[in-house]
Amino acid sequence: MPKPLDSDLFVGCPSRPPFFRVGGKWTAMILVCLRDGPRRFTEIQAVLPGITPKVLTESLRAMENDALLTRKAYPENPPRVQYSLTPLGRTLFKPLAAACEWNSMYLRSTKD
């Protein structure tokens, strides 16, 4: 039987929750889409099969709120919007690569 958890287990941890969004279904793929530079909504959507415009919009907004990307609207007709990674967003590529490597080493394919 394990010993009881210490009531001070999380003392000293930041009060803000960690970026669980990175583990979201689309976040990692959106990060990769933006790796080489700014992209428009339709460019991102075109390479993400199965994502709806609503879900992509929600994902992009959430990532913007977490300071992982920026949204720049240009005052043109028709309007043009581009999404770019922030320096904080770029810091996720190394942990993302580690997670992908772990996944390929230890998780079985869903086709097995």
Which pLDDT belongs to residue 23? 64
Give the Cβ contact number of residue 81 at 10 Å.
15
Residues of the chain above pLDDT 90, percent: 54
DSSP β-ladder status, 69-74 and 80-85? antiparallel
Which pLDDT belongs to residue 110? 55
* Structure confidence by residue, pLDDT tens digits, 78-109: 889 999 999 999 999 998 888 888 888 887 65
Which pLDDT belongs to residue 17? 58
Which pLDDT belongs to residue 60? 96
> In 3D, which of 40, 47, 37 has the Cα closest to residue 76?
40
- Residue keyed to tokens 């967003």: 89
Which pLDDT belongs to residue 7? 78
> In 3D, which of 92, 37, 36 has the Cα closest to residue 63?
92
Give 40's pLDDT tier (boundaries 50, 70, 90): very high
pLDDT higher than threshold 60 for residue 50: yes
pLDDT mean over 60-72: 94
* Whole-prediction pTM: 0.77
89 CB-near residues (< 8 Å, 6+ apart): 31, 34, 63, 67, 68, 69
